[in-house]
Chains A and B, each alone.
Chain A
């Protein structure tokens, strides 16, 4: 999150609406840097409401800070991966905290060394922790749990989030010799995404 960059964006905005959105974007960034995350989220959401579509991933990162991991996973869904290392890092944390470990691992691999030494070190630690979790064959109840979450989120009308849980179930099932409930998970996933893969959990 770079306040200077946001102020530059603000300076080149032409319409009053865009300028207003830029002000809120900058206010959100400032609040974020000062760890006033609830306020940051409100400002980013207002900025988006006034037309700053760039505010979405910042709002998603703020949701991570607020401990609202599942909402963050949903909010990151429209954002392209690999565009910004810091956002990828926050997105991986959202996945990790939503217990979407395969999603987190994939994103942390993307973060790599692009993010500077501090984040890269954190990412490496997180990947090591995930790797130790994933060394064992996933037990059947774990896959059941992800499929249950997928169904519950789908029934709540949160298709993008449901898809990430189904995607996780697919990935975990593929790590088992018996491919436990793999076809069921893949079928549910394809119904949710139309393609069998989501933008969040490729």
Chain B
């Protein structure tokens, strides 16, 4: 984005290079070139102007007017604004900002203000970005570009209404319309307060919802469910947040597997999508078949940083689970999981992430406690601005701690999990979702081998304020 903007703002030129005189002096030809140089300079094209003046001087080294004009172009080319653009191009955003400040100190310069605002935005210095971009927006030539970036700043700040307004304005310029329209839609779904409601219906080839290892027979079933979530981020993306969720899923055949619950989380994120840190406390309470199923407290920390073309991320959580019902009580304990991922952007609309996880579930009985590890991969592609596809696959190699006296062996399982997801935005606030979950479980104890397939179709409504 920066390189494109820089190329929009300035063309490269070196008017100061030495001039090779022509073999024959030609003052008439020099005058013709000088005239073109004057026209090009007046048109705001220093590169071609310099070329014309240089041709004039090659034909007539005594052409004082061309020499003077070329000298001025040479001095301008070394000016603060062009230095800023060069530093911006080289990725030295701090150096670029210093140069743009220098350019703006000499005289009001909307181009320098725009470029400086973009640099501040890239450095997540939103206050400074806003001030510079507002100055640039006053110039008609930069109005939509400045509004576009002001919209991005507002979006990051969680001010969804202002972001949508600015991005809608920027979208009036056909050159910004595609990106600005998509982001305006995103703005309407984000903000300091975001509510979402997801209604979905699915079928599960193995609907028995029991903690891993309980040998209950499998049976397929359909379900209808709804999930409501509220997210409050008073300071935008970076800062504290509260999240609450309520969910319910009713089974078509097995009423004892009706599932519901509530969750509440409080966390703090420092940084944005490009780099950040996150800490969160979460509480889950779940009902199964109308009875209390599990109560769990979870502590989560995570972080992500850019590394060249890649994004490196790591997370860890500890979940303290308590199963009150006698059947599941032996599964009470602490689940811990840590994961590292490396993500690569694929063009402007795709992302591939590869990761590896390590998990440990230490429960009341050692034959039910396990350690698990394995690789995973996720591919997300936006086929169009409104249609996204995702595929996630994980391999988990799980070993239990001790021989299960009921089974007469120490279990060792392998799980192959895959999820395919398609999301289609059908309006500013509505999204259709179709997902297909699959699992193949292998175990050294044959009854624990199974296959599970679960397609789900849902409709989500999301509103940001």
Contact = CB atoms under 8 A, between A and B. Distances in A.
A42 B58 CA distance: 14
A142 B51 CA distance: 38
Interface residues of B, number: 25
Interface in A60-117: 66-68, 71, 99, 101
Which one of B43, B172, B173 has the highest number of Cβ atoms from chain A below 10 Å of its Cβ? B172
B39 interface: yes
A42 B33 contact: yes
Contacts of B32: 24, 46, 49-50
A46 B172 contact: no
A128 to B, nearest CB: 16
B48 A38 contact: yes
Contact of A142 (B29, B45, B174): B174
Given A20-B29, A46-B33, A49-B32, A145 B172 contact: yes
A54 interface: no
A42 B36 contact: yes
A184 interface: no
B334 interface: no
Contacts of B33: 42, 46
B133 interface: no
Contacts of A133: 174
Interface residues of A, number: 24
A68 B39 contact: no
B175 A39 contact: no
A88 B174 CA distance: 23
A66 B48 contact: yes
A141 B172 contact: yes
Interface string A1-41: 00000000000000000001000100000000000001101
A145 B174 contact: yes
A127 interface: no
A158 to B, nearest CB: 11
B308 interface: no
Contact of B173 (A20, A38, A145, A152): A145
Nearest to A16: B28
Contact of A41 (B48, B168, B175): B48
A41 B43 CA distance: 13
Contacts of B52: 42, 45-46
A174 interface: no
Contacts of A144: 172
Contact of A45 (B36, B47, B169, B172): B36
B51 A141 contact: no
Contacts of A46: 29, 32-33, 36, 52, 55
Given A101-B174, A139-B172, A142-B177, 10 more contacts: A42-B33, A42-B51, A46-B32, A46-B52, A46-B55, A67-B11, A71-B43, A141-B169, A141-B171, A141-B172
The 8 closest A-B pairs by CB, nearest first: A141-B172, A45-B36, A145-B172, A99-B174, A42-B52, A38-B48, A46-B32, A49-B32
